[in-house]
Structure 1
């Protein structure tokens, strides 16, 4: 069992959907998406808004999450 959130992220296979909370100036920031890269210093998460590179030293919480729900089509108006 990984002992820290950074260890967990290093142990997950690429493609795993994750949520990562990291310290940023003035508070915290979350990245939710697919883990696309990991090295000794950082992980890269592909989110809906783009790519987030998160330094492992800033990570305070991380966990795998289930796949995103399928997007629904628009309902016809009428």
Structure 2
């Protein structure tokens, strides 16, 4: 899937494994089913992980609570739901 977005900045970002690298930062609308809001995202290749995005504290603060012991509590999105975004 091809996506385009304006680059806002280039910043030093620490990966989940603790390694720092300089990444481009863009603004994108993540979602939780039908709730949308904009956050800054530093995209990277996550093909080797099971997740396309790891949301940070700032993206979720005041918007959601997480249960680290649970997965897909609202269900997985179908391909047609992804295409409607």
- TM-score, normalized by length of structure 1? 0.32
RCO comparison, higher one (Cα < 8 Å, 6+) = 1
- TM-score, normalized by length of structure 2? 0.30
More strand per residue: 1 or 2? 1
